Every structure is written in structure tokens, then in C-alpha cells.
Amino acid sequence: MSIQEEIRQLAKAKNAVIMAHYYCENEVQDVADVIGDSLALAQKAAQTDADIIVMCGVHFMAETAAILCPNKKVLIPDATAGCSLADSCSAQELAQFKQQHPQTLVISYVNTSADVKALSDVVVTSSNALKIVHQMPQDAELLFGPDANLGAYINKQTHRQMMLWHGGCHVHGRFSAQQLMAIKAQYPQAPVLAHPECGKDILDLSDVIGSTQALLSYVQQHPEIPAFVIATEPGVIHKMQQAHPKAQLIAVPYVDENGMVRCNQCEYMRQNTLVKLRDCLRNEAPQVTVDADVAQKALVPIQRMLSLS
Ligand code: 13P
Ligand code: SF4
């Protein structure tokens, strides 16, 4: 039996749903029941009637599922799959900020720990941040965190002046604008599709800015365009290629400290391997749980997001 068959058999026998983010390895995406961006994964987790949710993603995604589904077992193939963006805001720092700014509404990106969500007024993802910030009272003082790039982009789009947390994603923050300009010179007709976690230098060179799902949908909806330049984690190219088989999909790289041009993968997402997925289904571990009090508090801003989006 192939490992894929073994995984599917285990999932069926245990009534488990396998969810995967677009940044996972192609083979992990191919074996999953649900593939999506952060918002879709949270929405699908909230709706599932499976007994077990296996979240092939990073830790905060499994935590979000555990908060939304307190009576389900939430597993993650590798419990050490973290997120540099989530790590850029600790609950302690945010609590301190709130003490100093008691009137400020805290808008937290979904890429945060459950403890940070528990201190937030509303959670957003890159899919709904714009829509949700538009719905915030005009006279309210707002903090957006932890992604300063996404926050600055939303400020520009909404003409708000939200305070921005100083966090960021190491993957989206390191794309090379110089490499992107060279690609644009080579493919002048190809639209540049960028995730809003990218820096302003990359976003200013881009034609379409959106969540992983929005960028995938753009490729899907434009069969007449022969080439696209992709400025987000290249895992998303797998589904783009399936949606538009003839498209040339060019991934923007980064330049490492030794001057080497490299493929810009998120090493945390790539920790989800087929072997770890199989073993996690077999052993029903590692399980991700959230302290009941924290989960109860974090559920409020997550549910607010689901109803506003
Ligand atoms: P999406 O919400 O667009 O899936 O992004 C999640 C993420 O981690 C981007 O780096
Ligand atoms: Fe976190 Fe960045 Fe990886 Fe997304 S790409 S999971 S924000 S480290």
C-alpha cells in the first residue's frame, strides 16, 4: 500500500478530516480533503462533522481549529511548525500595550497565538482584513498587529491611521525587489501577484495584492493570460498550475546572506511531510489543545471575524 493510501485509509477509519494550507508540499496538498487559506481553513474547521481534524499547516492554524472545535481532537503532523509572524507578538507585550492604551481596539491577524487572540477585539486574515477594518467605527483608535506590512497596506487602502505592531513574516519580508524587477523586465506582460505580507517595495511593483486564495482565484479567472509572477510562498503554485495548466508561473526568489538566489519557501509549512501526517493519524498525536479559559476568550474575536467576513 502506498503511504497516500495508508493516510486515506486511516482518515476514513478514524473519521478524520485532513486540512492543508496552500504552502504545504504538493504531495501533502494532494492527500488532503480541504485545501485553503487561513480563513477557509478556519471556516471549514468550524463546520466539519469529523471527529478528528488534522491541520497540515502551522501551529496557530491548529490552535484556531481547536478553539473553534473544543470537542474535537485537533492534530498537527509536527507540533514544532511555528510561524515567525506569530512569534513577533507575545501576549505579554500586547497586554502591556493594552494597559498603556486602554481605549484602543486591537485587530489581530490570525497569525497569532491563542493567548494574543484572547487579548484582541477582532481577528482578521489577509482575505477579510480590508472588509473588517472598513467596518470598524470611524472614531475608534485602532491597533493592527502583528504584521506591519499588511497593516500599512490596509491603512493605505482604507485611509485609516491604525497604529501598527512592528512584526513581520521572515518569508514575505525577504523577497528581492531587484530580482522582481529583473523578472518584470524579462516578462513585461506578466502580472505580478503578491501577498500583502510582502514589503512595500514588492507591493509597489505588484498588479494584484491578496490572500493566497485571492491570488489563486485570479489565476483561475484569467485563462487568457499566459504568464504570472508570484510573490508569495511558492507552494500555492501547485493549485495555480492545476487551475491554469498552460500558465507559466514564475516564483520571485530571495537572495540569502551569501548572495545566493533562493526559492522562498516557508520552512515551517514544509515541516508537514507525508510520513509525519501518516504517523500523526496512526498515533493520534501530536494533539494541539488550548487552555479552556484562553480558548473561551479567543473564541470571541474569532467568531466576530467569521460573522463580519
Ligand atoms: P493566507 O491567509 O493568505 O492563507 O496567509 C497565511 C500565511 O501564513 C501567509 O504567510
Ligand atoms: Fe508564518 Fe510567514 Fe510561514 Fe506564513 S509564510 S506561516 S506568515 S512564517
Mutate to test the pocket of ligand 1, among 212, 213, 238 (most ligand atoms within 8 A of CB): 212
> Which amino acid type is present at position 286?
P
Find the farthest-apart pair of alpha carbons in the chain and give their distance in angstroms, rounded: 61
At residue 20, does pLDDT exceed 90?
yes
Q: What is the mean pLDDT of residues 31-57?
A: 96
Right CATH number for 3-81+269-290 from 3.60.21.10, 3.40.50.300, 3.40.50.10800, 3.40.50.2300? 3.40.50.10800
Give residue 86's pLDDT. Answer: 98
CATH of domain 85-169+297-308: 3.40.50.10800
Closest Cα to atom 3, ligand 2: which residue?
Answer: 266
Distance (Å) from CA 96 to ligand 2 centroid: 25
Closest Cα to atom 2, ligand 2: which residue?
Answer: 169
- Residues 305 and 132: their CA atoms lie apart, in Å, by 7
Decide whether any atom of ligand 2 lies within 6 Å of the 81 Cβ.
no
Distance (Å) from CA 212 to ligand 1 centroid: 6
At residue 245, does pLDDT exceed 90?
yes
Give residue 249's pLDDT. Answer: 98
Query: pLDDT confidence of 309, banded at 50, 70, 90?
Result: confident
Q: What is the pLDDT of residues 114-126, one digit of tens each?
A: 999 999 999 999 9
pTM: 0.96
Pairing of strands 105-109, 52-56: unpaired
Give residue 90's pLDDT. Answer: 98
Query: pLDDT confidence of 55, banded at 50, 70, 90?
Result: very high
- Residues 171 and 282: their CA atoms lie apart, in Å, by 32
Q: What is the mean pLDDT of residues 24-45?
A: 96
- Residues 285 and 24: their CA atoms lie apart, in Å, by 19
Class of domain 175-262: alpha beta
Decide whether any atom of ligand 1 lies within 6 Å of the 147 Cβ.
no
Q: What is the pLDDT of residues 61-120, one digit of tens each?
A: 999 999 999 999 999 999 999 999 999 999 999 999 999 999 999 999 999 999 999 999
Closest Cα to atom 6, ligand 1: which residue?
Answer: 38
What is the number of the ligand 1 atom nearest to the C-alpha of 58? 8
Q: What is the pLDDT of residues 282-301, one digit of tens each?
A: 999 999 999 999 999 999 99
Rounded to the nearest integer, the mean pLDDT of the chain is 97
Distance (Å) from CA 224 to ligand 2 centroid: 31
Cell of 171: 518569508
- Residues 287 and 41: their CA atoms lie apart, in Å, by 17
What distance lies between CA 209 and its chain's CA centroid? 14
Q: What is the pLDDT of residues 154-208, one digit of tens each?
A: 999 999 999 999 999 999 999 999 999 999 999 999 999 999 999 999 999 999 9
Closest Cα to atom 3, ligand 1: which residue?
Answer: 211
Distance (Å) from CA 110 to ligand 1 centroid: 9
Decide whether any atom of ligand 2 lies within 6 Å of the 269 Cβ.
yes
Decide whether any atom of ligand 2 lies within 6 Å of the 58 Cβ.
yes
- Residues 226 and 74: their CA atoms lie apart, in Å, by 40
- Residues 287 and 74: their CA atoms lie apart, in Å, by 6
- Residues 301 and 25: their CA atoms lie apart, in Å, by 31
Q: What is the mean pLDDT of residues 6-26?
A: 98
Residues of the chain with CATH 3.40.50.10800: 3-81+269-290, 85-169+297-308, 175-262
What distance lies between CA 44 and its chain's CA centroid? 14
- Residues 210 and 196: their CA atoms lie apart, in Å, by 6
